[in-house]
Structure 1
Amino acid sequence: MKRHILTLAVLAMAFAACQNTNSNNAQTASETTEAAMMQDEKPAMEAPAWAGTYVGTLPAADTGGYVTVLELRADNTYRLQEKAADKNFKDEQEGTFVFEGGKFTLTSEKGEKTYYALKDNGKILLLDKDGNEIKTELDYSLTKKM
């Protein structure tokens, strides 16, 4: 009888030891997987300060101005929407841009280029067809929406 009890006790300890090893192996595997996933994660890159949506009304000779919304995305793509303030005119275009030397060169899907300059206090300024500042008293700036 003592022999049966001793055998059962040994088997119980062996069984418990096997389960504990499996539990430890599972925990170690889980920790290893977690550590590997954390290494693979790269810190989220912050969007450039200029990325965002700019709005304003740009002057025009033939209308009360163009209500303009320009979205500059961190992946160097843009979306430009214009609507005449007092006429039935709407235009929308998308494309890519390059930011260099404080200036944005927007290239539409049709290949047309438009230029803007980054200014202080969350503004960008529409430039002429050659990428130069327009000499005028009129306000050609768009303000970044916060």
Structure 2
Amino acid sequence: MKKLFLVPVLGLLFASCNGNTNQGNADSTAVDSIATEQPAFAGVGTYTGVLPAADAAGFDTSLELKADGTYTLIQTAKGSTDSISNQFTVNGDTISLAGRDLTGLLQGDSIVLLNADKQAPAVPNVLRKK
């Protein structure tokens, strides 16, 4: 008789333990997703300026950095407009634009564009935040 009573009790015990396991996994998943969120990039916004050109008066330039990690770069010279949208990456205060060989240094409300050696040129090319 005791054996017949023990079987249903053990069944209930195992069933109740299985329910707690799923709940524990849900809690750890929520903690993992919170821990992997990246802080917002402070340089989000639109930057404008005139960049030098070898065969023109310069490029009117607009660079929009978006919170989702994408950018839109629009350059106009001699009535012709060139536009590109892609991803950007931030490493400290350095911004690199994918799809363009363009790197800049975030300084306050400005971006100083760097040369191929990742150095600021003698005459800096600066885009200022609107």
Output the TM-score relative to the length of structure 2.
0.65
SS of corresponding position for 1:64: strand
Please report how far the alpha carbon of residue 47 of structure 1 lies from its aligned counterpart in structure 2 after TM superposition.
4.7
CA distance in 2, matches of 1:46, 1:106: 19
Match of 2:66 in 1: 73
Please report how far the alpha carbon of residue 88 of structure 1 lies from its aligned counterpart in structure 2 after TM superposition.
3.0
Moved over 6 A (4+): none
Output the TM-score relative to the length of structure 1.
0.58
1:62 corresponds to 2:55: yes
Gaps of 5+ in 2: 1-33
Gaps of 5+ in 1: 1-41
Count of paired positions:
94
CA distance in 1, matches of 2:103, 2:42: 18
CA-based RMSD of the aligned residues comes to: 2.0
Q: Which of 77, 92, 104 in structure 2 is aligned with 1:116?
A: 104
- Which protein is richer in strand relative to its size? 2
1:127 corresponds to 2:97: no
CA distance in 2, matches of 1:127, 1:106: 12
Q: Which of 102, 106, 111 in structure 1 is aligned with 2:97?
A: 106
AA of the residue aligned to 1:99: V
Task: Describe the superposition over 1:52-95 as per-residue Cα deviations: whole angstroms up to 9, x where unpaired.
Answer: 000111122211110000000111110000001xx132110011
CA distance in 1, matches of 2:93, 2:39: 19
The percent identity for this pair of structures is 37
Please report how far the alpha carbon of residue 48 of structure 1 lies from its aligned counterpart in structure 2 after TM superposition.
2.9
